[in-house]
């Protein structure tokens, strides 16, 4: 039996059982649903939530024991890329990057620092993975990615872990020389899928529509290149 999870549904598939005339499925200890096929989709589920799902074979003689599987749904996450100009560290880093999920706190990846002169239009620099814990399970959101741009600007983007495809906020550019010291600047909002840990390779994780929320400046993608600076 296999489980394939999306953001609001989980589909169970199983092999046909010799002699079975029907199958019964249930979620947790809830209502039993009888069907004749060898798959069933449980819909209307909460995001990033662990569910216990069961199936058994039925014929005129009765029912088999329940076969049980636990599966977690995926999620859709929105948030903003963040950039900070700071006082130089002992190794000369003056830029830091992060990601702020909508309704949540700023997340600072372990590798998030860069020197402005390391950013060039020809190369993207990526942070370590932005992660958080939701409902008792780690969500791997993705990486902040940045590069230099024309006119002394910095461009910041985000690379969702589910797809590896760069997402460009509408407002994503900032000029380093105009950034206020120790003040975070935020991009407009990006929205993307987070793959279920039940089947991380089974989700396409298509990027959802992006909305334009003003931010305190134009941002660009930047990578973190230092752990302890």
Question: Could you read off the pLDDT of 45-76 as tens digits, one per residue?
Answer: 999 999 999 999 999 999 999 999 999 999 99
Residue 65: inside a domain:
yes
CATH number of the domain where residue 39 is located? 2.60.40.10
Q: Is residue 207 over pLDDT 60?
A: no
Out of 26, 49, 72, a domain closes at: 72
Tell me the pLDDT tens digit for each residue of 80-89.
999 999 999 9
For residue 108, CA distances in Å to 83, 99, 184, 227 come to: 10, 7, 12, 11
Q: Is 217 part of a structural domain of the chain?
A: no
Quote the domain boundaries for residue 122.
Answer: 75-194
Is residue 219 in a domain?
no
Q: What pLDDT shows up at residue 7?
A: 93
pLDDT at 201: 43
Question: Once rounded to an integer, what is the mean pLDDT over residues 154-163?
Answer: 96
Q: Total structural domains in the chain?
A: 2
Q: Give the residue from 72, 90, 116 where a domain finishes.
A: 72
pLDDT at 227 exceeding the cut of 60: no
In the chain, DSSP assigns E strands to: 2-5, 10-13, 22-27, 33-35, 39-42, 50-59, 62-63, 67-72, 75-85, 95-101, 113-114, 125-126, 130-134, 137-149, 153-160, 173-175, 184-186, 190-194
Count the Cβ atoms, other than its own, within 10 Å of residue 120.
Answer: 11
Q: What is the average per-residue pLDDT within 9-35?
A: 93
């Amino acid at each position: 039996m296999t489980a394939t999870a999306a953001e609001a549904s989980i589909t169970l598939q199983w092999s046909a059982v010799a002699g079975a005339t029907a199958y019964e499925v249930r979620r947790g200890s809830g209502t039993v649903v009888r069907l004749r096929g060898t798959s069933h989709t449980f819909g209307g589920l909460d995001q990033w939530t662990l569910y216990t799902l069961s199936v058994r074979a039925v014929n005129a003689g009765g029912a088999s024991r329940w076969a049980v599987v636990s599966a977690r749904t995926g999620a859709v996450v929105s948030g903003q890329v963040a950039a900070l100009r700071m006082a130089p560290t002992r190794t000369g880093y003056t830029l830091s990057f992060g990601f702020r999920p909508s309704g949540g706190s700023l997340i600072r990846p372990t590798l998030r620092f860069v020197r402005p002169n390391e950013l060039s239009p020809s190369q993207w620099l990526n942070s370590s993975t932005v992660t958080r814990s939701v409902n008792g399970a780690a969500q791997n959101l993705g990486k902040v990615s940045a590069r230099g741009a024309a006119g002394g600007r910095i461009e910041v983007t985000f690379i969702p872990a589910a797809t590896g495809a760069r997402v460009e906020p509408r407002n994503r550019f900032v000029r380093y020389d105009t950034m206020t010291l120790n003040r975070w600047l935020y991009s407009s909002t990006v929205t993307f899928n987070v793959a279920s840990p039940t089947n991380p390779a089974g989700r396409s994780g298509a990027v959802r529509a992006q909305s334009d929320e003003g931010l305190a400046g134009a941002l660009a993608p930047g990578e973190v290149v230092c752990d302890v600076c």
